[in-house]
Amino acid sequence: MAERYEVVITSRAAESLEQIVLYLEEEVSYKTAERVRQELLKTMDKLEYYPESNSIVQEISDDEVTYRRIIKWSYRIIYTIEEAAKIIFVLHIDHVRRDPKTLKEDF
């Protein structure tokens, strides 16, 4: 069986998620916002197995840090893996239409 990683959602990622949910509550519905919240949280939880199977975000990765992404619907979840400690740090969640090059400023 695959090794299990701990998934840590940073405060920044939690804030990103809340902004998405607030936007959906205002623009769509509370029901849709909660569904999106729950599905994004499930997607993050699933990272505990095989986190390296997701794409590397070349635009912001460098020799020191490799950023990966997983896409759920139209949302991109960006994370790093601390291999020695078996921890995944979820760093940010955004809409896939955002240019990933602009994320470099954030990291």
Instruction: Provide CATH code, domain 6-101.
Output: 3.30.2310.20
Average pLDDT over residues 40-63: 94
* In the block, residue with structure tokens 């993050």: 44
pLDDT at 7: 98
pLDDT band of 105, cuts 50, 70, 90: low
Tell me the pLDDT band of 3, cut-offs 50, 70 and 90: confident
Extents of the domains making up the chain: 6-101
Mean pLDDT confidence for 76-99: 94
Token pair in block for residue 11: 């405060």
For residue 100, the model assigns a pLDDT of: 66
Phi, psi of 75 (to 5 degrees): -115, 140
Q: Which of 104, 101, 40 is nearest to 75 (CA)?
A: 40
* 83-89: average pLDDT: 96
